[in-house]
Amino acid sequence: MVRRKKTSKVVKATEMVVYNSIPELYDHIQNTKRKSAWENDSIFDNSEDYLKRWCGELPDEAMEKLFKGDAEGAKKIKAQGEILNEAQGGTMPKIEVGVYGCIPSVPNYLRGVPANMMRVVREPRRNPVIDIYVENSIYDGIDVNRVAEKAAIIANVIYATEMEGVRVNLYAVNTSHDSHNTQKAYAMVVKIKDADAPLNLLNIAFCVTNRAMHRSIFLKWLERHADNRVEGYGRPMRGNEIEPTFGIDGIILSMRDMVDCYMGIDDVTRKINEYLKNK
């Protein structure tokens, strides 16, 4: 469940819909008709050549990659991850969490086996859980290898976080804000990794690195939610705008900001550590 707090930014209306899985989002888009306002004025009425160039994928191709995963994107993230690991000398990002005690294993203790005198008690419901949101409205001309590198950074830091006993829900978030006319803001949020599941690059690659996630999937979704065409498709919101607008309680990472601001492993690790410190 997405945690929310009171919003501090004033907009006339906000709509945030959360999907607990990619198949749930896929089914919603496939089985919901677009609003009448978009019937004769949709970006998807353009030629296939235009859609391929602007979205990066044809609409049907984008939907297929959303549902089945993006194998090519996953390979790029994995390759960048290997480069990062080599540069880091195999060291893991340092996640600062509270000390969680272990319960002595009495039989081992009495037998005098010091290396095995502690048994780890796994109580998943008691382990802390954090929510990380990735916004990926990727602009034209961005270096796709740098986007894959930033995705690899996120993956590495999530792995390090979970090695410290902190479970992670990972969400993809796409937004639109009409700042000129209606002042409405929309957010489509989909869970791409559950706290109880390991990270799967095939599941996350399309949602966090492919511009068609925003330009095709999200705009299809928006046509099924925005009632008034005068709003247009709006503009994507920056990472620092999303939290105060929708009241999301979690760590928000923008792929644009990560690329433009040269964010590295240390920067993402710092954000998580600061969040954990305030939990």
Predicted confidence (pLDDT) per residue in 163-199, tens digit: 889 999 999 999 998 766 557 889 999 999 999 999 9
Give pLDDT, residue 124: 47
5 pLDDT band, cuts 50/70/90, is low
DSSP 136: -
Among 67, 21, 32, 62, residue whose Cα is nearest residue 224: 32
Average pLDDT over residues 52-56: 93
Kindly report whether the global pTM for this prediction surpasses the value 0.85.
Answer: no
Domain-embedded: residue 215: yes
pLDDT of 65-92, one tens digit each?
A: 999 999 999 999 999 988 887 776 666 6
Give pLDDT, residue 181: 59
Query: Token pair for residue 268?
Result: 């993402």
Give pLDDT, residue 99: 35
Q: Check: CB of residue 209 under 8 Å from CB of residue 73.
A: yes
Domain-embedded: residue 107: no
Q: What single-letter amino acid sits at 19?
A: Y
Mean pLDDT score of the chain: 83
DSSP 147-212: HHHHHHHHHHHHHHHHHTT-EEEEEEEEEEE-TTTT-EEEEEEEEEE-TTS---HHHHHHHHH-TH
Q: Is the pLDDT of residue 208 over 90?
A: yes
Among 165, 216, 130, 82, residue whose Cα is nearest residue 74: 82
Residue 64: how many CB atoms within 10 A of its CB? 15
Q: Is the pLDDT of residue 109 over 80?
A: no
Give pLDDT, residue 189: 97
Give pLDDT, residue 183: 73
Q: Check: CB of residue 148 under 8 Å from CB of residue 80.
A: yes
Residue 112: how many CB atoms within 10 A of its CB? 7
Average pLDDT over residues 213-226: 94
Q: CA angle at residue 251 from 63 to 19, to 5 degrees?
A: 35
120 pLDDT band, cuts 50/70/90, is very low
Domain-embedded: residue 109: no
Q: Look at 14 and 270; give whichever has higher pLDDT.
A: 270
- Domain range holding 265? 13-96+127-277
Give pLDDT, residue 91: 66
Domain-embedded: residue 46: yes
How large is the C-alpha radius of gyration of the chain?
Answer: 21
Domain-embedded: residue 217: yes
Domain-embedded: residue 118: no
Give pLDDT, residue 240: 87
What total of structural domains would you count in the chain? 1
Q: Distance between CA 248 and CA 176 in Å, rounded?
A: 15
Q: Distance between CA 209 and CA 242 in Å, rounded?
A: 19
Q: Look at 199 and 229; give whichever has higher pLDDT.
A: 199
Q: Distance between CA 263 and CA 223 in Å, rounded?
A: 33
Helix (H, G, I), strand (E, B) or coil at 47: coil
Residue whose structure tokens are 């998943």: 124
Give pLDDT, residue 123: 47
Q: Distance between CA 172 and CA 133 in Å, rounded?
A: 6
Q: Is the pLDDT of residue 253 over 50?
A: yes
Domain-embedded: residue 110: no
Q: Is the pLDDT of residue 103 over 60?
A: no
Q: Is the pLDDT of residue 269 over 70?
A: yes
pLDDT of 11-52, one tens digit each?
A: 456 889 999 999 999 999 999 999 888 888 899 999 999 999
Q: Distance between CA 219 and CA 47 in Å, rounded?
A: 16
Average pLDDT over residues 224-241: 80
DSSP 55-80: HSS-HHHHHHHHHH--HHHHHHHHHH
Domain-embedded: residue 6: no
278 pLDDT band, cuts 50/70/90, is confident
Average pLDDT over residues 49-59: 94
